[in-house]
Amino acid sequence: MTSTASAAVGLAARPLAGPGRPDGELAISTSGLTKRFGSQLAVDAIDLEVPPGSVYGFLGPNGSGKTTTIRMLLGLVGPSAGGCTVLGRPMPASTGDVLPRVGALVEGPAFHPYLSGRDNLARLDAADLRADPRTLRPRVDAALDRVGLLAAAGKRYRAYSLGMRQRLAIAAALLAPRDLLVLDEPTNGLDPQGTREVRHLIGSLAADGTTVFVSSHLLSEVEQICTHLGVMSEGRLVAQGTTAAVRGASSRVARVTTGQPEQAARVLRELGLGGVEVADGEVRGIPGDVPSERIVSALVHDGVGVRSFVVSSPSLEDLFVALTGEGFDVSG
């Protein structure tokens, strides 16, 4: 098996529900999933919960264990401890049943450089015993059209740009309907327009009922498309839940700009704000349940000249830096 999109782990699909697959069952579930490479602990007892029909953003700095986890989910490497189920079946024991229902792009695309995009997809499809050769051309064209490559279908792969190659890899994963799509950095190498196209593609797949598990470091994209988040750091899953819940775990911050910072800090402490500090020419504190209007009124009543006042929630980047201690690429 290659690591191309199509390594398209599996090229046929069956309905999500079925024997042993009760409604509402998690699309991906792990329990204490662990992977060691010698003395190195790459993945440390993680418990993933990916609801069916969700767009799950799997996030973390390079080296945090994301790709190793994905490879275990797909049966490409075995775990050192713990276990996982994909589409309700244990992996890797059920690889033959599960992978035909999964499309995947892992660690970048790999195709024959001397073949056209269309011919590359046709060769991949021909290797699938479940695929119907009578429907090959319309399925290949539909996959190319969905990723915006139909006009370049006859061009040789070696002439494709990096972004086009990435989109061809996604097309390979879409040669047949999928219950689950696993994408490892799907916008790698794409320009802003290509990134938007992939974002819309992921949204349309999810709208059709496909569960999408996407590993990414582009936080601006993640915020727009993901319904659920899982954050990895040094092999551990440090946060997980709906996007709103993960973001809501961080406290709002009140910021006051004034020429009387010490006096303002005293007023905020008296009101019960937590973590009050003076830094970078402003006073900051965690308001909790204290209304903004009460804070401003108290400052003015105490004679503090308020130049500006704002209450803001930490950005997704701020949250991830706090969780992992490392920065992320927030460009789109």
pLDDT tens per residue, range 263-300: 999 999 999 998 899 987 799 988 888 999 999 999 99
Quote the pLDDT of residue 1: 37
Instruction: Tell me the average pLDDT across 163-182.
Output: 88
Instruction: Tell me the average pLDDT across 18-35.
Output: 73
> How would you class 264 by CB atoms within 10 Å of its CB: exposed for 0-12, middle for 13-18, buried for 19 or more?
buried
Q: In whole angstroms, give the CA distance from residue 115 to residue 141.
A: 16
The answer to whether 59 and 237 have CB atoms below 8 angstroms apart is: no
Residues 6 or more apart whose CB falls under 8 angstroms from that of 100 comprise 10, 11, 12, 13, 14, 130
Quote the pLDDT of residue 18: 34
Report phi then psi at 226, rounded to 5: -90, 135
Quote the pLDDT of residue 13: 29
Residues forming CATH 3.40.50.300 domain(s) in the chain: 28-248
Q: In whole angstroms, give the CA distance from residue 30 to residue 45.
A: 9
Highest mean pLDDT among 42-56, 176-190, 245-259: 42-56
More confident residue, 247 or 159: 159
Per-residue pLDDT reduced to its tens digit, 95-123: 888 988 998 888 766 799 999 999 999 99
Q: What percent of the chain has pLDDT over 90?
A: 47
Q: How far is CA 299 from CA 25, 272, 306, in A?
A: 52, 13, 7
Q: Which amino acid is at 255?
A: R
Q: How confident is the model at residue 22 (pLDDT cuts 50, 70, 90)?
A: very low
Residue 148 gets the label, from left (phi > 0), alpha (psi -120 to 50) or beta, of left
Q: Looking at the predicted structure, is the pLDDT value of residue 40 above 70?
A: yes
More confident residue, 76 or 320: 76
Residues forming CATH 3.30.70 domain(s) in the chain: 253-312
Q: Looking at the predicted structure, is the pLDDT value of residue 16 above 50?
A: no
Q: Which fold has domain 253-312?
A: Alpha-Beta Plaits (3.30.70)
Residues 6 or more apart whose CB falls under 8 angstroms from that of 183 comprise 104, 105, 170, 173, 202, 212, 213, 214, 215
Residues 6 or more apart whose CB falls under 8 angstroms from that of 275 comprise 284, 285, 286
Angle at 320 between CA 5 and CA 58, to 5 degrees: 25
The answer to whether 301 and 319 have CB atoms below 8 angstroms apart is: no
Report the relative pairing of strands 102-105 and 180-184 from DSSP bridges: parallel
Q: Which fold has domain 28-248?
A: Rossmann fold (3.40.50)
The answer to whether 52 and 16 have CB atoms below 8 angstroms apart is: yes
Q: In whole angstroms, give the CA distance from residue 232 to residue 46.
A: 9
Quote the pLDDT of residue 62: 80
Q: Looking at the predicted structure, is the pLDDT value of residue 9 above 60?
A: no
Q: How far is CA 100 from CA 4, 104, 184, in A?
A: 15, 11, 18
